[in-house]
Amino acid sequence: MTEMDQNLEAQSRESMEYDVVIVGAGPAGLAAAIHIKQLAAESGADISVVVVEKGSEVGAHILSGAVVDPIGLDALLPDWREAEDTPLTTQVTDDHFYLLGPSGGIRLPNFLMPPLMSNHGNFIGSLGNVARFLAARAEELGVEIYPGFAATEILYGENGAVEGIATGDMGIDRQGHARADFTRGMELRGKYTLFAEGARGSLTKQIIPRFGLDKGRSPQKFGIGLKELWQVDPSRFKPGLVQHSFGWPLDSGTGGGSFLYHFEDNLVAVGFVVHLDYKNPTLSPFDEFQRFKTHPLIRDTFEGAKRLSYGARAITEGGWQSVPALAFPGGALLGCAAGFVNVPRIKGSHNAVASGMLAARSVVSALAAGRAYDTLQDYEDGWRASSIGRDLKPVRNVKPLWSRFGTFIGVALGGFDMWTTTLTGGRSLFGTLRHRKRDCDSLLTIDRVKPLTYPKPDGVLTFDKLSSVFLSNTSHSEDQPAHLKLTDPAVPIKRNLPLYGEPARLYCPAGVYEVVYGNEEAHTDPRFVINAQNCVHCKTCDIKDPSQNITWVPPEGGGGPNYPNM
Name residues whose C-beta falls within 8 Å of residue 337's C-beta, 6 or more positions apart in sequence. Answer: 24, 28, 195, 196, 197, 198, 199, 201, 204
The per-residue pLDDT of the chain, averaged, comes to 95
Integer Cα distance of 163 and 193 in angstroms: 7
Integer Cα distance of 354 and 484 in angstroms: 32
Name residues whose C-beta falls within 8 Å of residue 158's C-beta, 6 or more positions apart in sequence. Answer: none
pTM: 0.95
493-525 pLDDT per residue, tens: 999 999 999 999 999 999 999 999 998 888 899
The mean per-residue pLDDT over the stretch 408-424 comes to: 93
Assign 500 to helix, strand or coil.
helix
- Where residue 9 falls among pLDDT bands split at 50, 70, 90? low
Task: Say whether pLDDT at 305 is over 90.
Answer: yes
Residues in the chain: 566
DSSP secondary structure code for residue 433 in this structure: P
Looking only at the bridges linking them, the beta strands covering 123-124 and 67-68 are antiparallel
Instruction: Assess contact for 117 and 263: CB atoms under 8 A.
Output: no
Beta bridge partners of 78: none
Task: Say whether pLDDT at 218 is over 80.
Answer: yes
Integer Cα distance of 546 and 50 in angstroms: 37
- Where residue 472 falls among pLDDT bands split at 50, 70, 90? very high
Helix (H) or strand (E) holding 408: helix 398-423
The mean per-residue pLDDT over the stretch 229-248 comes to: 97
Assign 345 to helix, strand or coil.
coil
446-471 pLDDT per residue, tens: 999 999 999 999 999 999 999 999 99
Task: Say whether pLDDT at 2 is over 60.
Answer: no
Instruction: Assess contact for 545 and 473: CB atoms under 8 A.
Output: no
Q: Phi/psi at 324 (nearest 5 deg)?
A: -75, 170
87-114 pLDDT per residue, tens: 999 999 999 999 999 999 999 999 988 9
Assign 491 to helix, strand or coil.
helix
Which candidate, 399, 279, 271, 289, places its Cα nearest to that of 339?
399
Of the two residues 1 and 85, the one the predictor is more confident about is 85
Provide DSSP, 281-292: TT--HHHHHHHH
Instruction: Assess contact for 221 and 317: CB atoms under 8 A.
Output: yes
Integer Cα distance of 30 and 125 in angstroms: 18
Q: How far apart are the first and last CA of the chain?
A: 43
Integer Cα distance of 507 and 499 in angstroms: 15
533-554 pLDDT per residue, tens: 999 999 999 999 999 999 999 9
Task: Say whether pLDDT at 143 is over 60.
Answer: yes
Which candidate, 326, 297, 379, places its Cα nearest to that of 101?
297
Q: Phi/psi at 11 (nearest 5 deg)?
A: -75, 125
Looking only at the bridges linking them, the beta strands covering 94-100 and 151-156 are unpaired
Looking only at the bridges linking them, the beta strands covering 222-231 and 170-172 are unpaired
What is the structure's pLDDT at 522?
82
Instruction: Name the burial class of residue 512, with classes exposed (0-12), middle (13-18) and buried (19+) by CB atoms within 10 angstroms of its CB.
Output: buried
Percent of the chain with pLDDT over 70: 98
Integer Cα distance of 109 and 475 in angstroms: 44
Percent of the chain with pLDDT over 90: 92
What is the structure's pLDDT at 8?
59
Q: What angle do CA 223, 492, 518 make, to 5 degrees?
A: 125
Integer Cα distance of 481 and 465 in angstroms: 23
Beta bridge partners of 242: 95, 261
Integer Cα distance of 79 and 133 in angstroms: 13
- Where residue 7 falls among pLDDT bands split at 50, 70, 90? low
The mean per-residue pLDDT over the stretch 324-348 comes to: 96
